Amino acid sequence: MINTVKPYVAGIDIGGQTTKLGIVDARGSVLSQTTIRTDTHTDVNLFLDDLCSAFEELATKTGGVEKIRGIGVGAPNGNYYTGTIENAVNLVWGGSRTIEFAKMMEERTGIPVALTNDANAAAVGEMTYGASKGMKNFIMITLGTGVGSGIVINGEVVYGHDGFAGELGHTTAVRYNGRQCNCGRTGCLETYASAIGVARTAREWLEGTDEPSLLRDLTTPITSKDVFEAADNGDKLALRIFEFTGKKLGESFADFVAFSAPEAIILFGGLARAGDMLLKPIEESMNANLLHLWRGKIKIVFSQLKESDAAILGASALGWGI
Amino acid sequence: MINTVKPYVAGIDIGGQTTKLGIVDARGSVLSQTTIRTDTHTDVNLFLDDLCSAFEELATKTGGVEKIRGIGVGAPNGNYYTGTIENAVNLVWGGSRTIEFAKMMEERTGIPVALTNDANAAAVGEMTYGASKGMKNFIMITLGTGVGSGIVINGEVVYGHDGFAGELGHTTAVRYNGRQCNCGRTGCLETYASAIGVARTAREWLEGTDEPSLLRDLTTPITSKDVFEAADNGDKLALRIFEFTGKKLGESFADFVAFSAPEAIILFGGLARAGDMLLKPIEESMNANLLHLWRGKIKIVFSQLKESDAAILGASALGWGI
């Protein structure tokens, strides 16, 4: 993999507010990184001006642009096949249209650009540098504000017919009377198992009972971090919220296993910090719901990428494959 | 694909009672076929003696064994990676053990043998000769006694880490208070959407109401064929049973699409004969449950393989890839 003339790749992670970028070597070390604002321009051309300047500045620190083999971009609604960002309503310059992002960036930099969504980028990152190194079949689940997924089969990310495969956060966790989801449907896994879902469970349970809980003392709206801290301090209600969240994840994971029989499911993102509080109920309910042939055989593991570097590493890993 | 020295493949479909075998050319024509009993020997070696004699007799009719390029076998619990049949309790010589079927048959015939389960074989058959010719991403759903599935991604059947991927009949259609399944779990799609599931719905609904129905006149236990015939004669209860069955399938299909974003879902097997009575509610409920980006875009099509040849064709198609 090491190319002495072009030994590095660049990784760019586009979020709604900020965009992270970095230069990465073949061992997965982030050599330099920086952050720019995503939301200061409504015109994507002006955003790309900022991004390309920041990229060139970074590249200069590591020997120049000519040492960069490829650029990988993780972006909301990113389509790997077409290199486009489509209907990304969370990006101020996105909106309900299709932006030929990879092509535009290639024209500006002269370097090949590959683009996908952030969960797929995370899966490639984990396979290249992290917990699933050497695994040919695994599923990456990102537990952040929402629930994302990147599915790897036979060593390749599944993009499907149109480039948008792997929306496991929008599979059905509760069929009837499920929670309303931002996507317009109800009962999606994301409404239960994301950071927002955990906070929602907390609010519902606090309103529905008189059970004492540290969470009742908060003066600001409950976040999943509050629930984590309360659980970490032994709060029973908060602990049960993680049990419930893990149960929902485990039930869904059993169905995912029936689809692709992965070696492992890898957990990534803020909620994964809950560790055993989440892992144990996931394993219990997944195994209770699995077909016999898979019981006790599917590993649930946490991402091994350093959280501050993970987004850049994930995106950058795409750069090796161009 | 046409090899003038070895222009044919053989397809073998192993069922609980009978085993079908045939010789197939590259156009998908079944040149000769026959059937032997599966259940007359408890020793797999004696079954293989019968099978190999029948195979040699067939091959003689089409120019001899030396014209056969490969043998494809579809078998319950068949594992493509290892060529084994594992824990196939529905085969009298199967039981709770692992049989090195492909290896044993190779040793006897001197011809390469590939083996998988019947639903995966059906997917390969459809891709080679049928409705999904040229498709790289589709899901085959077999609606027989049970519900089986073969998933194709990037032009390849998904076998997963252990060779047993694609058990979509055992994903959860109803999470709580679902029907008891033979697999030991509850709520599996198979308990609602198989031939047995349809008969079960009929029995439950007849017991639960006084609604008049042609199905009340039967003197033998209700089968899915009875429900089909009643519906075909305009029986309202029977028609609603197919609506219910289609709705359950459509709900599950929406989750399958979120996984692999296929171009099409292909329906195969006895229940598929219900045609529009099943197709319309499937399309309606699938689209109502899909993420917006896929609504109206996923084709639901019926298998294009002749039913009497389909099992042999599906298995035989594996023979080209060896």
Tell me, what's the ipTM?
A: 0.94
As a whole number of angstroms, the distance between CA A268 and CA A132 comes to: 12
Partners of residue A255 in chain B, C-beta under 8 Å: 171-172, 255
Interface contact flag, B259 A258, Cβ < 8 Å: no
Give ∠ CA B29-B35-B40 in degrees, rounded to 5: 155
Q: Which 3-state string (H, E, C) describes chain A?
A: CCCCCCCEEEEEEECCCEEEEEEECCCCCEEEEEEEECCCCCCHHHHHHHHHHHHHHHHHHCCCHHHEEEEEEECCCEECCCCEEECCCCCCCCCCCEECHHHHHHHHHCCCEEEECHHHHHHHHHHHHCCCCCCCCEEEEEECCCEEEEEEECCEECCCCCCCCCCHHHCECCCCCCCECCCCCECECHHHHCHHHHHHHHHHHHHHCCCCCHHHHCCCCCCHHHHHHHHHCCCHHHHHHHHHHHHHHHHHHHHHHHHHCCCEEEEECHHHHHCHHHHHHHHHHHHHHCCHHHCCCCEEEECCCCHHHHHHHHHHHHHHCC
Q: Which of B244, B239, B256, B229 is nearest to B282 (CA)?
A: B244
Interface contact flag, A175 B251, Cβ < 8 Å: yes
- Looking at residue A322, what is its pLDDT? 80
Residue of chain A minimizing CA distance to B162: A261
pLDDT in tens, B81-129: 999 999 888 899 998 889 999 999 999 999 999 999 999 999 999 999 9
Q: Which two tokens stand for residue A19?
A: 């965009």
Residue of chain B minimizing CA distance to A254: B171
Partners of residue B289 in chain A, C-beta under 8 Å: 172, 185
Q: Does A295 touch chain B (CB under 8 A)?
A: no
- Looking at residue B306, what is its pLDDT? 84
Band (pLDDT 50/70/90 cuts) for residue A113 is: very high
- Looking at residue A2, what is its pLDDT? 56
- Looking at residue B68, what is its pLDDT? 97
Percent of all residues in chain B with a pLDDT value above 70, rounded to a whole number: 99
pLDDT in tens, A216-240: 999 999 999 999 999 999 999 999 9
Q: What is the mean pLDDT of residues A160-181?
A: 96
Residue of chain A minimizing CA distance to B166: A259
pLDDT at B1 over 90: no
Q: Which one is predicted more confidently, B103 or B1?
A: B103
As a whole number of angstroms, the distance between CA B50 and CA A261 comes to: 34
Q: Does B54 touch chain A (CB under 8 A)?
A: no
Q: What is the mean pLDDT of residues A264-292?
A: 95
What does pTM read for this prediction? 0.94
Distance of CA B262 to the CA centre of its chain: 18
Widest CA span of chain B, in angstroms?
A: 66
